[in-house]
Amino acid sequence: MHLRSLGIINNPKTSKPPLASVFIRCEENANLNHLSEYGIQIKQSKGKIRTAFVPLEHIGRLSEESAIDRITPSRYLKALLDEAKNTIGLPNFQTKTGLTGKGVIIGIIDSGIDTTHPAFTGRILQIWDHTLSNDGNSEYPEGLELTGNLPKRILAMSRDQTGHGTHIAGIAAGNDPAFTGVAPAADLVIVKAVLTYSRRCTNAGFFSQKKKLTAVYTEVMSSPCV
């Protein structure tokens, strides 16, 4: 097994030894705190499956612990969204059915969307951004509503600061040759919840946003909303 394939954490700016990220299977209530004297960081205090950061030189010491049954190295993950559509049989399904999502509105409550991304050109009907101030003309007091027919510079006021919402929109409805979404012809209604690295959204907030998506947009736009 090559070390380069493992989850090795190495900070060249310090003199500390590199750490291996591992999974541990152990007794459910095992107390492993004493392993800290070897620089081993157990990230959970209870449970049969735990994770840990272990100095490479002390992996042997971890394996000697009687309460531990198994140690599994962590590995770096790879983004393979370009392969996902083939894995689930999407191209074959679309060829057989001719379904592309046309006439359907997909509502996404997340961190927003990159309005400049070509994979969504012409299909963002509306954005309800909870991080922008209301202009006083909305039926809902929270956030600012932006319609898709506004100039690009106005739409760009709403930004996806984490990239997560754009990623999810791409999976659902991206229209890109390499990363085609499940419904590449569907229209999009985006709710940017308070989802940045420093702010969060409550489940009550999500309920309110979902209610608007399923009620307002299906009635006003007369299209199925999913």
- Do 94 and 161 belong together in one domain? yes
- Do 178 and 155 belong together in one domain? yes
- Do 69 and 87 belong together in one domain? no
Domain ranges, residue 95: 81-221
- Do 29 and 102 belong together in one domain? no
- Do 122 and 178 belong together in one domain? yes
pLDDT for residue 2 is more than 50: no
In a domain, 226, yes or no: no
173-178 contact pairs (CB < 8 A, 24+):
173/101, 173/106, 173/120, 173/123, 174/119, 174/120, 175/119, 175/120, 175/121, 175/123, 176/118, 176/119, 178/82
Query: Where residue 37 sits, what CATH number does that domain have?
Result: 3.30.70
Q: Of 73, 93, 126, at which residue does a domain stop?
A: 73
- Do 184 and 104 belong together in one domain? yes
**Phi and psi for 6 in degrees, rounded to 5?**
-95, 165
Q: Identify the pLDDT of residue 9.
A: 66
Query: Where residue 91 sits, what CATH number does that domain have?
Result: 3.40.50.200
Higher pLDDT, 216 or 33: 33
In a domain, 154, yes or no: yes
Q: Of 47, 73, 99, at which residue does a domain stop?
A: 73
- Do 55 and 99 belong together in one domain? no
- Do 92 and 66 belong together in one domain? no
Task: For residue range 58-75, list pLDDT tens digits in order.
Answer: 989 999 999 999 999 887
pTM over 0.95, yes/no: no
State the Cα–Cα distance between residues 11 and 202, nearest whole angstrom.
36
Q: Of 45, 73, 101, at which residue does a domain stop?
A: 73
Q: What is the percent of the chain with per-residue pLDDT over 70, rounded to a whole number?
A: 73
Q: Identify the pLDDT of residue 29.
A: 94
- Do 144 and 36 belong together in one domain? no
- Do 61 and 90 belong together in one domain? no
In a domain, 198, yes or no: yes
- Do 69 and 89 belong together in one domain? no
The confidence band for 26, taking pLDDT boundaries of 50, 70 and 90, is very high
The confidence band for 179, taking pLDDT boundaries of 50, 70 and 90, is confident
Count the domains in the chain: 2
Q: What is the 3-state secondary structure (H, E, C) of the chain?
A: CCHHHECEECCCCCCCCCEEEEEEEECCCCCCHHHHHHCCEECCCCCCEEEEEEEHHHHHHHHCCCCEEEEEECECCCCCHHHHHHHCCHHHHHHHHCCCCCCCEEEEEECCCCCCCHHHCCCEEEEEECCCCCCCCCCCCCCEEEECCCCHHHHCCCCCCCCHHHHHHHHHHCCCCCCCCCCCCCEEEEEECCCCCCCCCCHHHHHHHHHHHHHHHHHHHCCCEC
